[in-house]
A = this chain, B = another copy of it.
Amino acid sequence: MSAQPVRDEAAGDDGAAGDEAVRAALRTGLPAAAVLTDPDVTAAYAGDMAGFCPSGTPAAVVLPQTVEQVQHVMRTATALRVPVVPQGARTGLSGGANAGDGAIVLSFVKMDRILEVDPVNRIAVVEPGVVNAALSRAVAARGLFYPPDPSSWETCTIGGNIGTGSGGLCCVKYGVTAEYVLGLDVVLADGRLLTTGRRTAKGVAGYDLTRLFVGSEGSLGAVVGATLALKPAPAPQLALAAEFPSAAAACDAICRIMAGGHVPSLLELMDRTTVRAVNALTKMGLPDTTEALLLAAFDTPDPASDLAALGALCTAAGATEVVPAADGPESELLLAGRRAALPALEAMTGTTMIDDVCVPRSRLGDFLDGVAAIADTYALTIGTCVHAGDGNTHPNVCFDPRDPDETARARESFDAIMALGLELGGTITGEHGVGLLKKEWLAKELGPVGLELQRDIKRVFDPLDLMNPGKLF
């Protein structure tokens, strides 16, 4: 893990301007209220929710409200050679939105308009600062559905979701953010406006630059508008919980469910540590013999019948109890435990470091065994939640940040978990991104050829390395 480059405050010989010069130049093309420089205020914008990721003191936080204002920011940054850190709601978990000393934070929270919702073409056109939940509700009112639902959906922004390539609980059936981005407006480092993609359902005109921006963590340009695909609103989902005497039995059930052709709208696994933490926090009353809990849901025309078939596979795999919900409220009750998982684990030891390794579904059992061994090795509590249908695991390493030795072990275990993920044919990040947290691991996953090409692509868009520098690579 490396710190971000620290810029020389006094207009150094690299051509970078001092903070005051940057602020003055920004103000020439922005309303006064759009440029924040009070250190007590800007400090709040310095970083996202990732632990262990350094951040500095930005020169300014800019809150643009128009594309032209963003272009002014980027032209200023290029003229003065100042790094720019695009930012949504700072709910990221990898330090991708952290700002170094002297950087311009480009916050999109005030570009939050939904410009268009079109039921015939099933698209929405939005500004990047729209909150995920606001968009979801607006399109639901028109009988439509914007599926990507990261846990932070009540606060995170669409621009942040695009930057990170966010997922969520619904991905097992509906896929991730990338699959819903049809076209983008992007302000490049030099201030030029690039329009990518399309408003149509299909299109193969040239290289797919739209997709290149999704998950690029603000390192290629600043997304200032997005055309998103929507789906028709599905039927309400009905859920089921299944208790297993071992993680292996639960993973066997997952394999049976997926090989059996089922398409649940949710398929989540909680390991023993998580189940016990949730039990302790919420008094759910799960038996102590439950070593793994599987939650499934369907939003099909006949969810009860689909759940019955899925429940039978759980029983065949050794489930000790299968509890289907009778209706929507009962479903919500079953899923409440999953939603409480992270706070429950945090309540145990002080804080957690959440990992985000995705493995082939068939290797989930091996992965959970490996994580248990890592917890033993480092004498730590690690509770794992899994988006089981995707193989996307979130091992939560619990530790007391006041204990330096435990903190050091937590960081080592975090690395061990990523190594395990790669060994099992997985990826170091399913949906949280690379940011600062995993940049050394990205190099391992990509290998030298892939890494070199990715760096060269960054250079095409941002030759001066001003867009969120020091992230990803």
- Where the two chains meet, the residues of A that have a C-beta atom closer than 8 Å to any C-beta of B are 118-123, 143, 164-165, 167, 171-172, 176, 178-179, 188, 192-196, 198-209, 211-212, 214-216, 220, 231-233, 255, 258-259, 261-263, 300-302, 358-362, 387, 389-392, 425-434, 438, 442, 445-447, 449-451, 453-454, 456-458, 460-461, 472
- Does the CB pair A205–B429 fall under 8 Å? yes
Contact of A450 with B233 in the complex, beta carbons under 8 Å: no
The 6 A-B residue pairs with the shortest CB-CB distance, nearest first, are: A232-B261, A165-B204, A211-B211, A201-B390, A203-B427, A202-B430
Is A454's CB under 8 angstroms from B201's CB? no
Provided the pairs A194-B450, A212-B208, A460-B457 are in contact, do residues A358 and B261 lie with their beta carbons within 8 angstroms?
no
The closest CB in chain B to the CB of A188 belongs to B449
Q: A204 contacts B433, CB within 8 Å?
A: yes
Task: Say yes or no: A205-B445 contact (C-beta < 8 A), given A196-B450, A261-B232, A461-B453.
Answer: yes
Cβ contacts under 8 Å, A425 to chain B: 199-200
Copy number in the complex reads: 2
Note all chain B residues with C-beta closer than 8 A to A447. 195
> B residues within 8 A CB of A461?
453
Distance to closest chain B CB from A321 (angstroms): 24
Are A202 and B215 in contact, CB atoms less than 8 angstroms apart? Answer: no
Q: B201 contacts A207, CB within 8 Å? A: no
- Check A209–B361 contact: CB distance below 8 A: no
- Identify which of A263, A431, A456 gathers the most chain B CB atoms within 10 Å of its CB: A456
- Other 6 A-B pairs with CB < 8 A, given A201-B358, A203-B358, A207-B215: A194-B449, A200-B430, A205-B442, A206-B472, A207-B216, A233-B261
Complex CA gap A461/B451 in Å reads 13
Q: Give Cα A392–Cα B205 distance, bound, in whole angstroms.
A: 13
- Could you write out 29 A-B pairs with CB less than 8 Å apart? A118-B362, A120-B255, A121-B360, A171-B201, A176-B202, A176-B204, A178-B208, A195-B449, A196-B450, A198-B358, A200-B391, A200-B430, A201-B358, A201-B392, A202-B427, A204-B430, A205-B427, A205-B428, A205-B442, A205-B445, A206-B442, A206-B454, A208-B211, A211-B211, A211-B212, A231-B263, A232-B262, A300-B301, A301-B302
With beta carbons under 8 angstroms apart, the residue of B118, B391, B460 that contacts A201 is: B391
Across the interface, do B205 and A434 meet the contact criterion of CB distance under 8 Å? yes
A171 and B446 alpha carbons, distance in the complex (Å): 31
Q: Please determine whether A446 and B204 come into contact, CB atoms closer than 8 angstroms.
A: no
Are A446 and B120 closer than 8 Å at their CB atoms?
no
Cβ–Cβ contact A120 & B208, under 8 A? no
Q: By the criterion CB–CB under 8 Å, are A203 and B261 in contact?
A: no
Distance in Å: Cβ of A56 to nearest Cβ of chain B? 24
Residue on B with the closest CB to A426? B200
Query: A220 contacts which chain B residues (CB < 8 A)?
Result: 207
Q: Nearest Cβ distance between residue A222 and chain B, in whole angstroms?
A: 14
